[in-house]
Structure formats: structure tokens, C-alpha cells
Structure 1
Amino acid sequence: MCPAQRRLSVRSSFSCLLRGIMEDHLDLLFGVVLLASPVLAISSCSSDGQLALYRFCNLTQVPWVPSTTKTLLLSFNYIETVTASSFPFLEQLGLLELGTQYTPLSIDREAFRNLPNLRVLDLGGSHMRFLHPDAFQGLPHLFELRLFFCALSDAVLKDGYFRNLDLSFHPSFWELNSLKSIDFSLNQIPIVCEQELKPLQGRTFSFISLAANNLYNTVSVDWAECMNPFRDMALETLDVSSNGWTADITGNFSRAISGSQISSLVLTYHIMGSGFGFHNIREPDRSTFAGLARSSVVRLDLSHGFLFSLNSRLFESLQHLKVLNLAHNKINKISEEAFYGLNRLQVLNMSHNLLGELYNSDFRGLPEVAYIDLQNNHIGIIQSETFQFLKALQTLDLRDNALKTISFIPSISTIFLGSNKLATLPNIRLTANFIHLSENRLENLDSLYFLLRVPHLQILILNQNRLSFCNPAHAPTGSLSLEKLFLGGNMLQLAWETGFCWDVFKGLSRLQVLYLNNNYLNFLPPGVFSDLTALRGLSLSNNRLTVLSPGDLPANLEFLDVSRNELLSPDPDLFAALSAVDIRFNKFICECELHPFISWLNQTNVTVFGSHADILCMYPASIAGIPLSSVSMEGCDEEEVLTSLKFSFFILSSVTLILFLMAVLMVTKFRGFCFICYKAACRLLSMDQAKGSGSDVYKYDAYLCFSNKDFEWVQNALLKHLDAQYSDQNRFTLCFEERDFVPGQDHIANIQDAVWSSRKVVCLVSRHFLRDGWCLEAFSYAQSRCVSDFDGALILVIVGSLSQYQLMKHQSLRGFVRKRQYLRWPEDLQDVSWFLNKLSQHILKKEKETKRDGDIQLRTIVTVS
């Protein structure tokens, strides 16, 4: 039932419950505009003539308020006493809130006589020091009285006048002929018998609460003497929850009130049942509720207890029951015929229990049940006929369980299967018009195609699955009934980038709302929305879209959410026909290309969701974080600016071209000298500082792999210019076999240590290198590291006159030479300094990981001739 309304019919209760569940998932795409009656906001400790708000005002007595006041709120003050003269004559006052005073409260005789039309009196939460027997005289129209958590007990009786009469029911209530609702919860009322409530006999109450009083729990009750406290009364809702009742107390109470008409009985937070792993408190049986057979109970709430096993024919005496709430117990076992006798039950709530398996016989005896809630159990197995015989069943809620198949699903209209372990869907016949399958493990779009073929399906929720794989052999489904489709939180990008399943929305001519948020989309397949002629709302938020083309969106679209994408310079014509759009948190480039969009944004009639402070520039850096509405685009459309720039550009380009050609000739002819001058200038300007590798974990900057026959050349050409141990001016810590390999250790182990302990591996490939097996072995290890780490740690330097053909003859080098760049030792001596600088840059360079999802690697051969 809806908690805010205790007096709903069963039909409206069921509708409210189902609507509440569906609203969790079917909120409008961008919110709804609500037209509500205006609420006049007034400051605290003041009155506007009708509403007097005096909460938290440190009052010690009732303030003066206008005679036109209809609502008076006095909670959270220090009022100690209310007498007959406390209130002025307030004929229109309908609600008085006097509860939760910070000091004990005394209510004197006829304290409210100047409030003749009072309908609701709230004294809840105030410690009642004294309550006169005639306190409520003069309130003929009082409908609801709240006395919860008031510490009511015999101790507050004045002079022992009502020594043998519990204060809760003394004569001050007898003349309240209009009273329909009484709340005595959270007090200390140990027992209520027929004699105390005799003056209330023959009356009808919408709500009576005796919850959280330890009622009948701390005293011994002689029920033969106490008898039925609610004799000859009609109660719409009786709340006796949180009193610590066992099955025995409940059985005694139900027998005592036998015959009293109670539509709704609330017994939540009880201790009936053994719970999980205990056996010290017995489970209720068929005798526990037998006394309610003549009470016509329609709604029974036994939630938040310790029921472990539902015994056979437990509820058979409740012939009129239509709503049964067993949620938040420890139910693990349903005995055979447990629900026999519930021939009129329409709503069964068994959520948040410990059910693991469901059997064919579990729900027999429920011919009229329309809604079964089994969410938040541990159900992994359900026999195929468990729900098939429930001909009136309309809604089945199995969310938050451990189901791996749905072959047991009957022909019903609403199915909740979210948060299970479904990886595939069996080919069964479904007839539902609402299917909820979010937070499962569906990967193949076959499941989506299958569900789109369900006849009469109107709402399909597949959020937060793993839809990412697509079989090419699919024909468009053409569902003519689907209206709302939720596919957020999947991975459709992986499926669409293969080029297949672009027709998944073909034929959905009645689809009105489509969610595709959080799908990693960086493009929209051409024409993917072309058949969605009825689409009104589309969510593409939290994707990676950088551009939207005019033909990407449906023609009749009204609401579009493209927030949190990577749109750079969107075309304003895309949004001109919309009613509302959300474009927050994109990566707008605030240059002249964005000028049309900014102009549209500042003058459009389209509703733009969110604050303009959330629509920001991301580039250039000088205005990053500035709202688009604050960016000036002055001069972007000025033709004279372009004209004046033409001549300047021509002169500048001509001079630049001449200078560039002269520079190329000079560098080509004297490139060695130019490079020496460049290095000298860098040193003078302190520009040649080592970049450093931060928290580099490598022992060596580079491992030089070469044939020992080339050692003398390597020493003169490289080591003396690069290795720090040869000269303090050198920057690198290099590793090579002759110096750094550990004598006596296995040669393979030395090679492995050198490869994995160095940031880069430099292989000096000469004719001797190609004949040296150890060198080729080291090359293989370095190449393996590149593959495993996806980096460019291997640097190949060709030494001598080795041709491309000679390199390609070696199988181990062939793949590298084809796909990766390599260096060649210069033949001209004036290029040696440049080459050493280039090699140093390669050694210092930190490689980024490369994407391997279809990108084409470009092969570049750097050759110095």
C-alpha cells in the first residue's frame, strides 16, 4: 500500500503500488512542468492571517494570532501549560500542532474550548506531565488526535483520581463524537481491555494506533476478564506493530477481538518466527489467526519480523484477505498449502526474505492473486509450473535475485527481472506489455531483437546490461506497439562499429522515448533513427559524440539530451525544431566557428536545461571554464577584417616562403655546423636540461645490444658521447655486455635483466650483429617486451651498408622492419651530432599506449643519408 494513505481500497492500493514501482524507471526524459497552486512562504515566528508558523521560537506560552487563523504550528518550543484561556477564540482553526515541546506539558480542563471547529490536534512527541480528564471537552468536530510518544501511563494521573483507569482512555475522549483517528503509538500503555473502551463502542474509526507500547507483552493478561477491547467497533486500520508480539500473544489477541470489524491490521516489527538459525520462538500456525475469521480483515501487514517457515494453511481463516505483506522477514520455506484459504487475495508481498528456490506447489490456493512481489530474495531456481496456474496474475516482481533463466515466466502483462544473472534469453512466448531487465548480463543484441518481437510490448527496460555483440543475420523487428525503450548503460558502440545491427530500430514507428545514454558512442550509424517517426524524447548523454549531422536526429523530436559528450562546434540548426535540449558539460571550442551556435543560444526560444554556468568553453585555454553566454565573438563575421588581412597575409606568406627556402638551403649545405650552433645556443639559454623521468623505475636508460666484434666502434661512436661513466658531461646510464653483465650468470638471464631493467633497448644492427645468435636472442626478448607492454621500448639502428633486402631475409627482423620505424647511422660525419641528439630523444621519450581497435599503424622509416 502507499504509506501516505491508509484508507485506500485494495484496487487503488494495488494500482498505487504498481505505479510507484514503474515511476522509479519511467521518469520523463527531461522532467515535467508541474502546475501547482501557489504556496505562500512566510517567515518563521509570524502569521499571514491564515497560517501561523511559530516553530523553534522559544515560546513559553501560546502567542496571540488573528481570529482568521486556520493552521497554528507551535512545535519545538517551551510551552509548559495550556489552559482554557491560552487560546483566543479561533473559530476557523482546523489544525493545531502543539507536539514536541522541550519541557513537560500540562493540559488543563477545557484547554481547547476556544477552538470549536478543530479537526486535527497534534500533541505527539511531548512529555505529558498532566492531562485533565476534561481536557478535550468542547471539540465536537475533532477528527484526528495524535498522542504518540507522550509517555502516557498511570504515573501522570492527578491525585490518583483515575488510579484504576489507564489515562489513554479516560473520559476526556468520550465526548469526541467526530473523532475518527487516534494515535497512541510510542507510549507506555501495557494493557487495553473492553471496559476502558466501552464508551467508544458503536463507533467507526479510520485509524487507531497502539504501536510501540509493549502492549500485552509485559503484563499477564486474563483474556476472560479483559475481553474484546474493540467490541462493537468498526476499524478501518488498527496498528499494533512494534509491541514485541510472539505467535502466542498474536493468537490470544486475534481470538479476543473475534467479531470486531477490522479492514486493515498492521502487525509489523513483531518477533513471531524462529528466524534464521534459531528455534527458540515458534512459528505461527493455522490457529494464530483463526480468531480473525469473523473480522473481515482485508489487509494484513506482517512485515519486518522473523518468520522463517510459512506453515500449512497458515492463513486459511482469512477468507476476506486481499493484501498480505510478508516483506522483510526471514522466510526460507513455504510449506505445502501454506496459502490455502486465501481465495480473494490480490496482492502478495514476500520481498526481502531468504527464499532460494520456488516450487510448483508454493503458490497454490491463490486463484485471484494479481501481484506477487519477490524482489530481494536469493532465488536462483524456479520450477516451470510455479506461476502457470495463477490465472489472474498480472505483475511479477523478481528483481534482485540470482535467476539465470526465465523459462518459468507465465503469460502476464508486467515483468520485473532487473538485477539478476541473466546472460541469455530462452526462446519462449512472452505476452507482457512491460518488461524490466536492467542490471543483468545480456551481451548479445539477439536478446534485444527477441524482445522487440514480443507482441503488444509497450515498455522495455534494458539499462545497465552488457549489450555489445551483434550477429549480422537479423531482420528488422518492426514492433508496432513499443513506446518506451531504455538502453542506457550498455556498450552499443562495440556492436555498431562492426557495421552490423544498424537496423535495430527499424519499424519502431510508435516509439516515443529512447534512452541511449552511457553507451560509449562516438558516432551514430547513418539513418539509425530514420524509422522513429513518433519519437519525442531521445537521450544521448554521457557518450563520446564529437559531432552531430543534420540527418542524425528524427524529424519530430522534441526533447534531446546530449549532455556530457564531446561536442566541439554543434550546428544550431540541429536544435531549432526542438522544444527542449540539454547540452551541458560538452567540450566546446570557443572560436569563430562556434559563433552561430552562441548567437542561437543567447536568443533561442528552445528550453535549454540547466544553468548557463554548465555550458562552458574548453578551448582555448585562455577562456577555459567561461560560460558560452559570456564569450564575446566580436569581429568573427566582419568582412572588412578578412579583406584587410588578405594583403597582409600575402606579404607575410611571401616573405616566409623566401626565408624558408633560404633556411633550407643553408641547413642542407651546412647542417653539421648549424646543429653545433643550435646546441651551443641551447646550452647558453639553459634549454638543454634533461627532462627527467619523474619516478622512473628503470635501472638503466638504455641497453646497448651489439656484437662484441663492433665494441671498438661502439665505444668511439656512442659510449664516449652518451654514457655517463665515460664522461661527466654525458647524461645516460647505459648497459652493455662487456661491462654490466654478471660474470658466471646464465647469459640468457643477463639479457633478460638488461632488457627489463632498461627504459629502452638500442639494437645496433651490423653484419656482425646478424651473425651473432646472442644479439638476435636479445632482439627477440626486446620485441617480446614491446608486445606485452604495448610500448616502443625497442630502437633499431642500422649500421653500415645493409640493404632493405638483407634485413628482410632475417625472419626475426622482418616484422619489425615492416611495421616500425628504425634509424640508420649517418654516412656523412657532419650528421653524427644530429644523429646522437635524435637517438637521445628516442631514449628519453615515454611512449603512449596505442589503441588496437582497428586503427591503421603507419610505417615510417627514418633514414639519414
Structure 2
Amino acid sequence: MRVSGIMGFHLELLLGVVLVASPVLGISSCSSDGRMALYHFCNLTQIPQVLNTTEKLLLSFNYIQTVTATSFPFLEQLKLLELGAQFTSLTIDKDAFRNLPNLRILDLGKNQVDFLHLDAFQGLPHLFELRLFACGLSDAVLKNGYFRNLRSLSRLDLSFNQIHSLSLHPSFGELTSLKSIDFLLNNIAVVCEHELKPLQGKTLSLLRLASNQLYSRVSMDWGKCMNPFRNMVLETLDVSDNGWTVDITRNFSNAINGSQISSLVLAHHNMGPGFGFHNIKDPDQNTFAGLARSSVIRLDLSHGSIFSLNFRLFETLKELKLLNIAHNKINKIVDEAFHGLDNLQVLNLSYNLLGELCDSNFYGLPSVEYIDLQNNHIGIIQENTFKFLGKLNALDLRDNALKTIYFIPRISDIYLGGNKLVSLPNIALTANLIQLSDNRLESLDNLYFLLQVPHLQILILNQNRLSSCKQGRAPAVSLTLEQLFLGENMLQLAWESGFCWDVFKGLSRLQVLYLNNNYLNFLPPGVFSYLTALRGLSLSSNRLSSLSPGDLPPNLEVLDVSRNQLLSPDPNVFASLASVDITHNKFICECELSTFIRWLNQTNVTIFGSHADIYCMYPNSLSGTSLYSLSVEGCDEEEIFKSLKFSLFVLFTVTVSLFLVTILTVTKFRGFCFNCYKRAQRLVFRDQTKARPHDTYKYDAYLCFSSKDFEWVQSALLKHLDAQYSDRNRLNLCFEERDFVPGENHLDNIRSAVWSSRKIVCLVSRHFLSDGWCLEAFTYAQTRSFVDLNSPLIMVVVGSLSQYQLMKHESIRGFVQKRQYLRWPEDLQDMGWFLHKLSQHILKQGKEKKKDNVIQLQTIAATP
């Protein structure tokens, strides 16, 4: 048996006042559409005139004081009348509803009824439900025959009143359709056989006597009171929250011996000592003995203080199928506690204080299909505890303290979320659903193991720590798995190691996959290519900055990529989808996004979320602006240059030949050309002083290089730039072999050189990348760059170092991503030009400002 609702989603029925009824009901307040008349909060003092076609008339929350035989026009079609919660006391006169002959539901609840005529409800032959809750009614409403002639009445709600006695008028015996009576929260102290005699011979679906302190405030003589439910069949009897102890429960069970009750609700009781009330007893073998002939199928003993399930506690309940003992203080299950429950199918022991389970705890349950043990403190379970429960299909052990699962039998549904599992043992499992969310699983070996479980259809591994992967694992094959939940893990750490990219390879029937909140900044190539049956994929709340059409499964229909970092997505990625969620990304609203914006406004793909949730992040001037309100007219290059095409063509044709000849000449003889330029410069400016403005720096530049590179640095650079090598050189350079103070701390030497030099020139070679002191000096230079606006760090890459080799070093990677660097020339004829440019960089002062050539998108003004 698959138990519905086991995933933990609870549906609650909320009873309250709907203040904004218009969107729900489809009409405005204080009006009628011919079928429904809505008059909530309309300050009415009398019944309004409505069309005779009206089927629903809603008059609650007004000031109507009196209802008489002439208050309503003849409304033959009216089925529902709501007249509850008036802001004044209400008087209901004789034949008050006689003009409503086909009324089915009459709601007078939450009124202060000052006067109710004995014949108030006459003339309602089709009335099915009568709501009189919280009306201040007394015993008289039951004793005096107010409900006579209501032959169609099925549901009667008298809860929240001031009824003390259930002495029913004989006319209750004529209510042949009566099925449900609710006496919740009255003051009924005793119910005896003679009071309910008019109900004998009837079958009721519900009789609620809860929250009345029934039998708990008086000393009972059951010999005189006898069985209040004699010759009655009750589908549900609710006597919860009456303060019943073990003795009261035992006496009540004995008194109703033989009465047929399918479902007995005894929740919120006072049975059991808990941890501090030793004078309060736990139920024993005699407590429910009187129910032996009552054919009880469902028994609710939840919300109490039962500490121990005693020997053969439920032995007489041979037909019981559902037993709810949740929300007690159960810490002990005595051997044979469940003896005799041969037909029990559902056992709920959740929210108790069980710490361990033994092999003998569940003996006597040959037919049990579902056991709920969630929210206990279970840390130890013996290996054979569940092995002998031959019909067990579902086992719920969520929110306990389990560290192993050796005890798990081969069953259909397994719920183990919220425990302390670090790894899974290699045991034989067969299941349709396995729930392991909110544990401590780290290795993807656990996932590969679970994917091999036969017949598995749903696997839930949310909120674990899946982050590591071993090399060389063969792909797991599952021909049954349909839904896989891997959200809130750390798959990025596993995939960036280069392994486990084939984890989904054998899942040819997978239909739904959740990978949300996994810190993903890339998708391994082809990771989804084998998921030919996948229809829904969630990649939300990751760090993806781009997606390509080949990244997604071939037959995907629904995609969630919300809350990522998509900057300028390719619309072709989403073109084949049925629906997509792209809300809360970081779109860069420049012209590169124009194709995507056009697609967004024209596509037939369903876009989840509101327009306001798809907005620009950059530039700042458009931050928060919806993509739907942007124009891309200024981004069409052909439109911008259409009038200039012919002129540009002519100009290009004339100049291109001259340009190519010039470029070829300069490229071929660039070294000679540069030397000529320098000679001419010296001749023209030979009489001008070479003095430079004085500044506060000791050195023009600090040269940072590996000691293994000293010879070529000296011959290729120092001899041509450093003033101590030649009088023609203008630069005062600092380098380790000459200028560092011997015996002083090496870091202090580096720090002094960095801060006493105008520029820091790092000659990054293969030796430099393997020299820790060089990398430390590079880091110090970057530190200075953060506070010096003149960009003092100059990086020169020497040799055939690739971009990848540079990016492997964190400090250098940050510099390369944000700033430009120089490369040492490979051709000797470029040496003079390079040294000249390097000298200019060293002597340059001030900061150049880059032109902002970003084409801003224009915001469309919203038209009223």
C-alpha cells in the first residue's frame, strides 16, 4: 500500500474571513450577478432584494437584527444562505425561511441568537446542512423539537455553544437522513443511554463530543447511565480532549461494550506518566478490553503522555487497521505490546522518545504495511527488527540519529532523511522510493550504489554533502529511475576534479532531475547527453554564467535556470523548450543582449515569473530595469551606418592599398626604422637637458626576476637601461643581486624595494613561476597597486608561457584578468622598440582614463 502524503506536505484547512472577495468570487462586493449575491461588510440592517434566479446569498458581517417570514422574497432557486457573524444580536422568528423552499445549506454560525422561534426552521424540506456553531444556544435547542420535519437534514453543527445536556427531543428519531452531529466545545459533563435514545437504530458518520470534559468532572454510576450508544453504528466517535485518564477510558470502554464504532478518536488525553507524574498510569491490558466487540478499525491515541507500551496492550482489538500513538512520550515497547493486532496495516509512532529498537518490538504485526517512526531519537536498531514483517511496504525513519542502515529490509518506500548517515553500506536493497535528504553523505560512491538498486523510481538526496568522486568508476545503469533529487549538494567540487562526468550515463528513463544549489559554474561536456527521456531539469541557484545548446538534454521540455549568473544567454538554448524560468539572473544590458531581448518578446516558450523578475544587473544606469521594457533599435549596426556605406567603401578602396604597402614595409624593416627614428630624435633634441623632475622615489624601478635568469637579464636589459652600466642610460634600477642589504630579512628587502621604487617590473619566466620569493614579491607589488592609482606593477612575460600556465597561479591570475601585460619580443629587431616602450612605462606618471564605449540600451517610457 502506497501511503499518500508521506513526503511531509500537509494540507491545512484555514477557516477565516475573506476580506477581498472580488478576485475569488468573480464579482464585486455588495452586488449580485443573478446567480450569486455577495453582501459581506455592506452595513445591511435588513435582507436586500435580489433576483429570483439567485442560487447563493452571502449576507455575513452585517447588522441584520431580525429575520421574519417576510424578510426574504420568494427565492425558489436559492441553495445556499450565509447569514452568520452579524455585528449585532439576531432574532429569528416563526417560518423565517419559508420563502426558500429548496434551501440546501443554512449558515447561522457565530451569531448571538437572542431569540429562536420553535418553528424557525419549518418549511425547509430539502435542508441538508445546518450550521449553528457559536450561537450561544442552550439545552433547549435539543429538548424542544426545533429540528422536526427536517427530513433531509444530514449535518448539524452545534459546536461552541452552551449545551450542558444531550436530552434529545423525540423528533430526532424522525431525522432519517441525519449523519453528522458536532457538539465540540460545549459543557456536556455526562451522556447516558436514555438521552440519546432517539438516535438508536441510526448510523452516523460522525458524532463529535470532544473538548467537553465529558465524564471527567463527575463521579459516574455506569450501572444507571448504561451504554449511551446502544443500537447505534458510529463511523467516527470523537471524544478527544476530555481529560480522560486510564480509569475513565477503561470504564467508558466497558460501558459501550458491543456498540459498533469504526473510528475512535481519543487524542489529547491524560493517559501516561510522561517523565514526572508517577501517579498517572500508562494504559494496560484492561484499558481497551471493553472494545473487543466494537469492531474498531481506527484508534487515535495521539497527543498524550504514554511512556510505555505495555504487555498485550491492544490484544482485544482484533480488527484494528490503523493505530495512531504519535506525539506521546513513548520510550519503551514491552515485548508482545502489539500482540493480537493481526490486521493492523498502519502504525504511527512518530514524535515520541524512542532511542533504540529491538528485534522483538514489532512482533505480532503480520499485516502491517506502513510504520511511521519519524522524529524520535532512534540511534540503534537491531538487524532483524523489520525483517519478519512480511507485508511491510513503507518505513519512515526521518529525523532520528541513525548512522547505519544495515537493518533496512527489502521494501517499497524508505524514508531516512534527517539522520547522521555518512556513508551507505553495500547491502541488498530493493525499493521504489528512497529518501535520504539532510544527511552527511559526501562521496558520489553512495550515489552510484543507489542507482543500482533494483526497481528504484524516485531517489531523493537533497541537502547532503556530495562533493567527492573516485577515479575509474563504471557508470551505474538504472532502467527504472524516473525522478532524481540532488539539490543542495556540492557537485561542483566533484566535477571540477574531472571525474564522475558520466554519473547520469545509465539513466535512460530519467524524467525529472534537480541539481539546484550545487555551486555549479560549469556543466561537464555531454553530462546530460544520455538523458533522452528527461523532461524537467532544475539548475536554479547555481553560478552558471553561460549555456550552450549542446549543454542540455535532447528532449528537455521544462528548464529552471533562475538565480544564476547568466549575462548574455543564447536564445537558441531555450528555443526547443516548452517553458523556462530565467528570473533573477545577472543580465548585462548591452548590445550583445539584443538578440535575446528580441527572442524574449517574440517567443512562444512559456516564461515563468513576472516581467519584473527578469531585469538588468549592469550597467548601473539600467540596474533593475525589466528586459521587457528595453529597446534595441540603437544596436542595429546596419541601420546606424546605412547612409555611410558608399562613402566608407570608396574611402576604404583608396586607402587600403597604401595602408598595406606601409604596413608591409614597416613590418619587414621595423628594427631599422626604429633606430633611424631614435637617431633623428637625438639630433633634434641634442641641446635639451636630460634632467627629469625630482620625485620622492629612491629608484625608478625595482626589477624582480629569478636568480637563474640573471645572465640574460643583465645582457638584454640592464646594460641598455641601468645608469650604472652606461652613462647613456637614464634609469636608476634596483635588483636583488646588487641592491639588497646582505644579512637583512629577505622579505624586508623585498618590501623596501617595492615601496621605494616608482615602478615594479616583474620578469615572469618559467623560473619566476617556480621561485617562491618571486611570487611573494609579485604579491607585495599587487598590494601596493591597490593603494597607488598610478598602477606601479609592470608584468613582462618571458618565453613561451601560455595563458593557462599563468592562470594556475592565483595572484598572477587576478592581475591577468584585470590588467594588460607585456611580452618579451621574440624577434631581435623588436628589442630596441620594446626597451623604449618599457622605459616609457617606467617613467610614465598619472593615470590614463579609458573611454567608455559601452552602447547603452534605451529604456522605453511606459505609456499610460
TM-score by length of 1: 0.75
Alignment of 1:658-807 (within 5 A): 770-773=741-744, 775-776=745-746, 795=754
1:42 deviates by: 4.1
The SS at the match of 1:113 is coil
1:854 deviates by: 7.4
Amino acid in the other structure paired with 1:564: R
Give the conservation status (yes or no) of the 8 Å contact 2:200–2:232.
Answer: yes
Give the conservation status (yes or no) of the 8 Å contact 1:468–1:495.
Answer: yes
Give the conservation status (yes or no) of the 8 Å contact 1:45–1:55.
Answer: no
Change (3 A) 1:377 1:244: same
Deviations 1:455-509, CA, capped at 9 Å, x for gaps: 1100001111111111112111121110000111111111101110000000211
Alignment of 1:283-302 (within 5 A): 283-302=282-301
Structure 2 Cα separation of the partners of residues 567 and 473 of structure 1? 33
1:202 deviates by: 1.3
Change (3 A) 1:645 1:241: farther
Which of 26, 36, 39 is equivalent to 1:41? 26
Give the conservation status (yes or no) of the 8 Å contact 2:64–2:90.
Answer: no
1:737 aligned residue: none
Change (3 A) 1:396 1:795: farther
Deviations 1:263-299, CA, capped at 9 Å, x for gaps: 0000000010001233120100010000000000000
1:30 aligned residue: none
Q: Are 1:407 and 2:406 counterparts?
A: yes
1:41 deviates by: 3.4
Alignment of 1:529-544 (within 5 A): 529-544=528-543
Structure 1 Cα separation of the partners of residues 555 and 690 of structure 2? 69
1:307 deviates by: 0.6
1:771 deviates by: 2.0
2:64 aligned residue: 59
Give the conservation status (yes or no) of the 8 Å contact 2:303–2:327.
Answer: yes
1:67 deviates by: 2.8
2:469 aligned residue: 470
The SS at the match of 1:594 is helix
Change (3 A) 1:588 1:204: same
Change (3 A) 1:667 1:482: farther
1:612 deviates by: 1.4
2:91 aligned residue: 81
1:107 deviates by: 2.6
1:717 deviates by: 6.0
Give the conservation status (yes or no) of the 8 Å contact 2:456–2:480.
Answer: yes
2:606 aligned residue: 607
Alignment of 1:174-213 (within 5 A): 174-213=173-212
Structure 1 Cα separation of the partners of residues 154 and 114 of structure 2? 22
1:74 deviates by: 1.4
Change (3 A) 1:480 1:839: closer
The SS at the match of 1:174 is helix
Structure 1 Cα separation of the partners of residues 760 and 634 of structure 2? 59
1:139 aligned residue: 150
1:776 deviates by: 4.1
Structure 1 Cα separation of the partners of residues 648 and 63 of structure 2? 78
2:772 aligned residue: 815
Change (3 A) 1:178 1:604: same
Change (3 A) 1:802 1:487: closer
Change (3 A) 1:309 1:852: farther
Deviations 1:402-458, CA, capped at 9 Å, x for gaps: 111111100100001111111100000110010011111111000100000101100
Amino acid in the other structure paired with 2:156: L
Change (3 A) 1:519 1:717: closer
Structure 1 unaligned spans of 5+: 1-13, 27-37, 154-165, 680-715, 720-762, 783-792, 825-833, 844-850
Amino acid in the other structure paired with 1:603: Q
Give the conservation status (yes or no) of the 8 Å contact 2:157–2:182.
Answer: yes
Structure 1 Cα separation of the partners of residues 342 and 747 of structure 2? 82
The SS at the match of 1:600 is helix
Give the conservation status (yes or no) of the 8 Å contact 1:765–1:799.
Answer: no
1:100 aligned residue: 110
Alignment of 1:71-470 (within 5 A): 71-77=80-86, 78-101=88-111, 103-128=112-137, 131=141, 133-153=144-164, 166-167=165-166, 169-171=168-170, 173-470=172-469
Identical aligned residues as a percent: 57
1:232 deviates by: 0.8
Structure 2 Cα separation of the partners of residues 428 and 672 of structure 1? 89
Amino acid in the other structure paired with 2:72: W
1:80 deviates by: 2.4
Give the conservation status (yes or no) of the 8 Å contact 2:741–2:749.
Answer: no
TM-score by length of 2: 0.75
Amino acid in the other structure paired with 1:770: V
The SS at the match of 1:465 is coil
1:558 aligned residue: 557
1:326 deviates by: 0.5
1:175 deviates by: 2.8
Structure 1 Cα separation of the partners of residues 741 and 788 of structure 2? 24
The SS at the match of 1:19 is coil
The SS at the match of 1:476 is coil
Structure 1 Cα separation of the partners of residues 62 and 397 of structure 2? 50
Structure 2 Cα separation of the partners of residues 25 and 852 of structure 1? 51
Structure 2 unaligned spans of 5+: 12-22, 37-53, 664-672, 700-733, 794-805, 816-820, 823-837, 844-864
The SS at the match of 1:498 is coil
Change (3 A) 1:120 1:814: same
Q: Are 1:500 and 2:499 counterparts?
A: yes
Structure 2 Cα separation of the partners of residues 672 and 82 of structure 1? 115
Structure 2 Cα separation of the partners of residues 609 and 836 of structure 1? 43
1:597 aligned residue: 596
Amino acid in the other structure paired with 1:348: L
Structure 2 Cα separation of the partners of residues 94 and 82 of structure 1? 18
Amino acid in the other structure paired with 2:79: K
The SS at the match of 1:405 is coil
Give the conservation status (yes or no) of the 8 Å contact 2:166–2:196.
Answer: no
Structure 2 Cα separation of the partners of residues 802 and 536 of structure 1? 56
Amino acid in the other structure paired with 2:282: E
Give the conservation status (yes or no) of the 8 Å contact 1:562–1:582.
Answer: yes
Amino acid in the other structure paired with 1:817: C
The SS at the match of 1:474 is coil
Amino acid in the other structure paired with 2:99: F
Structure 2 Cα separation of the partners of residues 407 and 673 of structure 1? 87
Structure 2 Cα separation of the partners of residues 836 and 361 of structure 1? 71
Change (3 A) 1:170 1:596: same
1:20 aligned residue: 5
1:582 deviates by: 0.7
Give the conservation status (yes or no) of the 8 Å contact 1:766–1:798.
Answer: no
Structure 1 Cα separation of the partners of residues 469 and 10 of structure 2? 26
Number of residue equivalences: 710
Amino acid in the other structure paired with 1:93: L
Change (3 A) 1:332 1:106: farther
Which of 857, 860, 863 is equivalent to 2:812? 857
Amino acid in the other structure paired with 1:140: R
1:21 deviates by: 2.1
The SS at the match of 1:238 is strand
The SS at the match of 2:609 is coil
1:178 deviates by: 1.5
Amino acid in the other structure paired with 2:122: R
1:23 deviates by: 7.6
